[in-house]
């Protein structure tokens, strides 16, 4: 998973099929997903995954109404096409179900 480092990178990345995972180093529910994400990324290789540290990109999180983490936001052609947000712990199965629904 790529780590988002600049807003310019975000602007460019959302033009392609991109999944932004909003997270934070201190978030236990986010760390729960860490061991499963490489396998999930392989299953959905037509998407590019970006790790977004919510604490580093607080303004972006606010713009996208991300108030709970971990949260996933999917973009294609510069437009948000779906999101899976909330502060509850997400299982790998729930993340895959969200990604499968993207088409």
Just list the catalytic residues: 27, 30
Query: How many Å apart are CA 73 and CA 99, to the nearest integer?
Result: 10
Query: How many Å apart are CA 81 and CA 47, to the nearest integer?
Result: 13
Query: How many Å apart are CA 95 and CA 25, to the nearest integer?
Result: 19
Q: How many CA atoms lie within 13 A of 85 on its CB side?
A: 15
Strands ordered across the beta sheet of 2-3: 2-3, 48-53, 18-23, 71-76, 79-84
């Amino acid at each position: 998973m790529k780590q988002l480092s600049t807003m310019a990178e975000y602007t460019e990345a959302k033009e392609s099929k991109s999944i932004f995972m909003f997270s934070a180093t201190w978030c236990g529910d986010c760390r729960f997903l860490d061991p499963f994400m490489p396998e999930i990324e392989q299953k959905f290789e037509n998407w590019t995954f970006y790790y977004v540290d919510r604490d580093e990109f607080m303004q972006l999180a606010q713009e996208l109404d991300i108030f709970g983490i971990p949260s996933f936001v999917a973009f294609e052609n510069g437009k948000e096409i779906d999101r899976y947000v909330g502060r509850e712990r997400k299982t790998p199965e729930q993340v895959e179900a969200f990604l499968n629904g993207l088409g």
